Amino acid sequence: SVNIVAFGNERDGFSEDNQQPSLICSYLGRSALISQIDSSLSASHVGNPVFTEYQACVFGNVRLVVHDCPAWDIFDSDWYTSCRLLGGADIIVIKYSVNDKTSFQELKDSYVPMVKKALNHCSVPVIISAIGARKNGVPCTCPLCTSDRRSCVTTSEGVQLAKELGATYLELHTLNDFYIQKYFGGVLEYFMIQTLNQKSSEKMKKRKKMQKCHRVQPPQLEQPEKMPILKGEASHYNADLHNLLCCCQCADVAFYPEDLSTAVEAHKIILCSVSHLFMLLFGVRSPSGAHDAPVVQLARSLFAVEAADPFPSSPRGVPPCAPPARVVVKDSVFCSCLPDILHFIYSGAFQWERLEEDIKKKLKDPDKTEHVLEKVKCILKTPGKLNTVKDCKSHQIKRLYNTSLRLFFNTPVLADVIFKIQGAAVAAHRAVLVARCEVMAAVFNGNYLEANCILVPVYGVSKDTFLSFLEYLYTDSCCPASILQAMSLLICAEMYQVMRLQHICELYIITQLQSMPSRELASTSLSIVSLLRKAKFHNSDCLSTWLLHFIATNYLIFSQKPEFQELSVEERNFVEMHRWPSNLYLKQLADYRNYIHSQKCHCTVM
């Protein structure tokens, strides 16, 4: 069989045709060597396909498996799956559009180093395909567009990228029969033939080795039992923050119409995380330190902050009992749509079509609708740059929270709670904590002392572990530095009942242990039995079961360690039952060795 993994999107950001077939799909459909094509989608959660899997036959009866991953986000959201795909690949195809300079730069800066790390100097052929004819048009005037149609990826840039990866560089100006079958197909089929030849050669070498000892065959060692597979939990990051708006917990700002008849509550940190306009309005310093004149003008014309409720300037934030800051919305039409706009922002600011539809239904006036939408675009605009939202299409808008909320992680800006841990002070924001952690929500909204205190002591966890825990709450990602740190973070996650973080730590520990060579596993000072004890004590049933299987699979290594004696009787029985290699195999091996010795011949296998 031949396994091909393709990454990247060959469509540029300006294309209106989302039904255009992909490079891989076009090749499989047009090549005369391909037959019996079947495809299926794999998804991290419903509605968000991670990759498409194609299965077909090539060269008559050779099984061909292709995984086509159009989005590079798999390296951010599921590093374990992306490494598994790259590790099993015989050929790697990297695609990009020559008219999407932004995506190419992101590929070069962020994802090529990840691919290098995953390949780890493996000799896997890589094909880089630059797709499309370069356009020289008028630059886009959309206020939310970051790309310039005159900015294309040059041939020299593509060749340089190919040199970095040791790859073969191809330019496909269009996806017609010539470029698909003869150009791209010819190179791909050459690498497929090379892969099959290499596999056939390795198989022949193994067969010759087995034939050398022809008198009595040695016992066959079966593969160890398959360990239980841990499946990751889908992210509910945007849903958590959207629920915060619906529940109105920890609200610190209220928007009013000019007649002060109604109020719409919100949270400064969420608003400031997606808009520099709100940073300006609430006195938060922008990371760039600059504000565009249109943004400043819009802030003054659209909002007015009541002088009776000044915005906090103290690093410790406002007390929990302080009333929300009052902001008057001067534009009555915009004010009537404010609930829908806040729902759009709190949902991650990527459902633009839904926002358009909601505002059209409410206003029923095209001019007013356009008026409100233009103000929303200006609110989301980044000072000094073209906007990060291309043409306001949902499939092109990236999530904002997991990068922008990071700006407020472990900083006193807008903070309203200080955690005291190991003699250090860690600033945080109740709104984020309540939204992302049910235990924190119970503490700050219940009849607890912490509900009315700014200083909250934390016990039973180290400062570094607690900072990693808070980083996950703010960014929905974590990167443990070691297995022990991952276990400490798992314990903290169990303490605060954040199940998804607990599963992430479990997967990290499993991945690190699986990648350990036998020699390192035998010499490491890391106690697997100690990890097993902690996993059981902190209700990590999946990890504890996996660790027992891991000890059984590496029985010859762990049975020689002193920690093996610390296993309980029940655990020891489980390990003995599932041990690898089994007692039966060891007995057969001993009998075979005795036979070889009695025949006075030398076995090349043993």
The closest alpha carbon to 528, from 505, 558, 565, belongs to 558
- Tell me the C-alpha to C-alpha distance, in Å, between residue 128 and each of 82, 91, 184: 18, 11, 10
Q: pLDDT above 70 covers what percent of the chain?
A: 80
Q: Are residues 261 and 190 in the same domain?
A: no
Q: Given pLDDT bands bounded at 50, 70 and 90, which one contains residue 289?
A: low
Q: Are residues 52 and 197 in the same domain?
A: yes
- In contact, 86 and 24? CB cutoff 8 Å: no
Boundary of a domain, candidates 398, 418, 433: 398
CB neighbours of residue 503 within 10 Å: 19
Q: How many domains does the chain have?
A: 2
* Token digits of residue 549: 């299987």
> Any residues with CB less than 8 A from the CB of 572 and at least 6 apart, and which?
none
Q: Are residues 167 and 273 in the same domain?
A: no
- Answer yes or no: is 601 within a domain: no
Mean pLDDT of 143-157: 67
H-run or E-run covering 50? strand 48-58
In terms of pLDDT, which residue wins out, 179 or 219?
A: 179
- Answer yes or no: is 240 within a domain: no
Q: Which domain holds residue 351?
A: 248-307+322-398
Does pLDDT of 517 surpass 90? yes
The closest alpha carbon to 174, from 93, 71, 106, 99, belongs to 99
- Answer yes or no: is 24 within a domain: yes
- Answer yes or no: is 482 within a domain: no
The closest alpha carbon to 377, from 395, 397, 362, 358, belongs to 397
Mean pLDDT of 586-593: 85
Q: Are residues 165 and 275 in the same domain?
A: no
Mean pLDDT of 411-434: 94
- Answer yes or no: is 466 within a domain: no
Which segments within 414-556 are labelled E, that is strand?
Answer: 417-421, 424-428, 455-457
- pLDDT at position 132 is 85
56 beta partners: 64
Mean pLDDT of 451-463: 91
- pLDDT at position 398 is 43
Q: What is the DSSP secondary-structure string of 403-469?
A: HHGGGGTT--TT--EEEEETTEEEEE-HHHHHHH-HHHHHHHHSSSGGGG-SEEE--SS-HHHHHHH
Locus of tokens 């306009």:
277
Does pLDDT of 172 surpass 90? no
- Answer yes or no: is 591 within a domain: no
Boundary of a domain, candidates 398, 424, 442: 398
Q: Given pLDDT bands bounded at 50, 70 and 90, which one contains residue 491?
A: very high
Locus of tokens 């596993």:
521
Q: Give the best-scoring range by mean pLDDT among 114-123, 132-141, 298-307, 516-525.
A: 516-525
- Answer yes or no: is 495 within a domain: no
Does pLDDT of 303 surpass 80? yes
Report pLDDT digits (tens) over 46-85. Answer: 344 567 888 888 877 888 888 888 877 666 666 677 777 7
CB neighbours of residue 290 within 10 Å: 10
In terms of pLDDT, which residue wins out, 235 or 120?
A: 235
Q: Are residues 69 and 125 in the same domain?
A: yes
The closest alpha carbon to 297, from 379, 380, 392, 377, belongs to 379
Positive or negative: CA dihedral 243, 245, 251, 252? positive
- pLDDT at position 174 is 83
Boundary of a domain, candidates 398, 415, 450: 398
> Any residues with CB less than 8 A from the CB of 227 and at least 6 apart, and which?
546, 549, 550, 553
CA distance 396 to 132: 19
In terms of pLDDT, which residue wins out, 208 or 439?
A: 439
Does pLDDT of 248 surpass 90? no
One-letter amino acid at 441 equals A
Q: How many residues in the chain?
A: 606
Q: Are residues 190 and 298 in the same domain?
A: no
Q: Are residues 193 and 291 in the same domain?
A: no
CATH assignment at residue 393: 3.30.710
- Tell me the C-alpha to C-alpha distance, in Å, between residue 228 and each of 493, 494, 529, 572: 22, 21, 18, 18
Does pLDDT of 267 surpass 60? yes
Report pLDDT digits (tens) over 315-324. Answer: 444 445 568 8
CATH assignment at residue 22: 3.40.50.300
Q: Are residues 53 and 190 in the same domain?
A: yes
Does pLDDT of 32 surpass 80? no
Q: Given pLDDT bands bounded at 50, 70 and 90, which one contains residue 18?
A: low
- Tell me the C-alpha to C-alpha distance, in Å, between residue 396 and each of 41, 148, 391, 485, 490: 20, 15, 8, 36, 34
Q: Given pLDDT bands bounded at 50, 70 and 90, which one contains residue 215?
A: low
- pLDDT at position 332 is 92
- pLDDT at position 293 is 80
Mean pLDDT of 83-102: 84
Q: Are residues 329 and 189 in the same domain?
A: no
- In contact, 4 and 91? CB cutoff 8 Å: yes
∠ CA(133), CA(138), CA(140), 5° rounding?
100
Q: What is the mean pLDDT of the chain?
A: 81
Q: Given pLDDT bands bounded at 50, 70 and 90, which one contains residue 196?
A: confident
- pLDDT at position 390 is 43
The closest alpha carbon to 167, from 149, 137, 188, belongs to 188
Positive or negative: CA dihedral 104, 109, 110, 116? positive
